[in-house]
């Protein structure tokens, strides 16, 4: 017997993560995540959570890799 294929649509979900560099205002970071959230929801994606990580130094990718946990929930 052939098993039927499930064709039900599954809603996609996303967790948004923003990286805030030194000197960047909180409002600008929030505005960028708001826009990204709007675009995701327009595409049919449910945004589950939003995180912002503040970088205290600007050393390229090494700063992000060393401290990959979110520092603030938006």
Pick the residue with more confidence: 37 or 7?
A: 37
- Tell me if residue 32 falls in helix, strand or coil: helix
Instruction: Please determine, for residue 14, whether its predicted confidence score (pLDDT) is greater than 90.
Output: yes
Q: What is the DSSP string of 15-29?
A: EEEEEEPTT--HHHH
pLDDT-derived band at 65 (thresholds 50, 70, 90) equals very low
Using the predicted structure, report yes or no on whether residue 74 has a pLDDT greater than 50.
Answer: no
Contact call for residues 51 and 15 (beta carbons, < 8 A):
yes
Predicted local distance difference test score (pLDDT) of residue 27? 94
Q: How far apart (Å, rounded) are the C-alpha atoms in residues 17 and 58?
A: 18
DSSP symbol at 50: E
Average pLDDT score over residue span 1-18: 86
Q: CA–CA separation, 30 vs 26, rounded Å?
A: 6
pLDDT 10s digits, 19-59: 998 889 999 999 999 999 999 999 999 999 999 999 887 66
């Amino acid at each position: 017997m052939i098993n039927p294929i499930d064709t039900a649509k599954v809603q996609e979900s996303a967790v948004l993560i923003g990286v805030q560099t030194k000197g960047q205002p909180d409002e600008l970071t929030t505005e960028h995540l708001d826009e990204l959230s709007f675009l995701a929801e327009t595409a049919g994606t449910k945004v589950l959570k939003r995180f912002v990580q503040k970088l205290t130094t600007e050393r390229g990718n090494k700063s992000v890799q060393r401290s990959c946990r979110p520092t603030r929930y938006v």
